[in-house]
């Protein structure tokens, strides 16, 4: 049975995330999965889209929150012809989740929800892992975690503001002298191609392709934080856990931190 009716929920903290561009991009990706080449509902389709817009700043008014949701709802309808539904508060969101889990008219594999934060992007290869969603478990996918702030500089009398990605404090980054992938990537498949001499020092796009989903044990970039963590993407009312250790399934998170400099 396909995950045809698993709802998709986004949490959007307007005090931390500047816009809802990533939500729209994820809508686009889910919509590509939802319809086949003939424009019909495909085998790996999902249920309705929901958004919980809120603010961690207690001074934010409900008027502003509703206005931002309506902007998102209008954009989703205009760009992708999809309807988006709003949760007014966290309790309403939690009650909805429990109603899905306790709905006996649903197959056990459908008693779950997909939940993402609005600073996350799903993989372009998410479609390849749809069958994993049938598992009666909470499903975790690799997390590629970036942090940034904004930096302002002056040049020829003009002010420019750009996104400044923050380096991790980890001291050990990807660099391995071994000729055997088994020492620095997991899972390892002996049939995979070898690598060039310079690919022992840095992961290139070609190297990611050669790895074919294997995840480097050591953080491959100084811009990645909390290497080895997984994001809980599928929430089910069970203690069962399924990890998908494949970089093609990775969720990319871009968190704005600290003050601008």
Asked if 48 and 86 count as a contact pair (C-beta separation under 8 A), the reply is no
Report the first-to-last Cα separation within the chain, whole angstroms.
Answer: 51
pLDDT in tens, 83-102: 999 999 999 999 999 999 88
Give the Cβ contact number of residue 80 at 10 Å: 17
pLDDT in tens, 15-42: 999 899 999 999 999 988 765 544 444 5
Nearest to 246 by CA among 215, 207, 209: 215
Comparing 143 with 259, the larger pLDDT belongs to 143
Asked if 120 and 252 count as a contact pair (C-beta separation under 8 A), the reply is yes
Nearest to 237 by CA among 128, 117, 104: 104
pLDDT in tens, 130-166: 888 888 899 999 999 999 999 888 888 898 888 899 9
The mean per-residue pLDDT over the stretch 67-75 comes to 97
For residue 190, the model assigns a pLDDT of: 46
Give the Cβ contact number of residue 206 at 10 Å: 12
For residue 202, the model assigns a pLDDT of: 61
pLDDT in tens, 184-237: 555 545 455 555 545 555 666 777 777 788 888 778 778 889 988 999 999 998
Give the pLDDT band of residue 2 (cuts 50, 70, 90): very low
- Residue-range domain boundaries for the chain: 8-154+223-256, 174-216
Cα–Cα distance, 95 to 142 (Å, whole number): 28
Cα–Cα distance, 48 to 252 (Å, whole number): 23
The H or E element containing residue 153 is: strand 138-155
- Helix then strand count (H, E) for the chain reads 4, 12
For residue 33, the model assigns a pLDDT of: 77
Cα–Cα distance, 219 to 171 (Å, whole number): 10
Residue 104 has pLDDT above 60, yes or no: yes
Query: Collapsing DSSP states into helix, strand and coil, what is residue 216?
Result: strand
**Mean pLDDT over the full length of the chain:** 83
Asked if 178 and 218 count as a contact pair (C-beta separation under 8 A), the reply is no
For residue 1, the model assigns a pLDDT of: 37
Angle made by CA atoms 124, 147, 22, in degrees to the nearest 5: 40
């Amino acid at each position: 049975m396909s995950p045809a009716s698993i709802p998709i929920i986004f949490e959007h903290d307007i005090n931390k995330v500047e816009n809802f561009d990533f939500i729209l991009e994820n809508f686009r990706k889910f919509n590509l999965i939802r319809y086949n080449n003939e424009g019909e509902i495909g085998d790996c389709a999902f249920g309705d889209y929901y958004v919980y817009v809120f603010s961690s700043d207690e001074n934010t008014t409900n008027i502003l929150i509703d206005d931002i949701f309506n902007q998102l709802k209008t954009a989703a309808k205009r760009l992708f012809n999809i309807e988006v539904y709003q949760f007014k508060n966290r309790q309403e969101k939690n009650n909805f989740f429990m109603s899905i889990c306790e709905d006996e008219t649903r197959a056990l594999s459908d008693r779950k929800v997909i939940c993402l934060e609005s600073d996350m992007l799903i993989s372009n290869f998410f479609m390849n892992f749809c069958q994993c969603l049938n598992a009666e478990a909470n499903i975790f996918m690799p997390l590629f975690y970036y942090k940034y702030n904004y930096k302002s500089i002056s040049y020829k009398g003009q002010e420019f503001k750009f996104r400044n990605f923050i380096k991790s404090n980890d001291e050990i980054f990807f660099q391995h002298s071994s000729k055997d992938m088994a020492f620095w990537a997991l899972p390892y498949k002996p049939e995979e191609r070898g690598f060039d001499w310079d690919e022992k020092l840095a992961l290139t796009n070609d190297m990611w392709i050669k790895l074919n989903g294997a995840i480097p044990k050591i953080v491959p970039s100084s811009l990645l934080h909390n290497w080895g963590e997984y994001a809980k993407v599928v929430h089910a009312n069970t203690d069962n856990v399924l990890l998908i250790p494949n970089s093609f399934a990775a969720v990319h998170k871009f968190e704005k931190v600290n003050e601008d400099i």
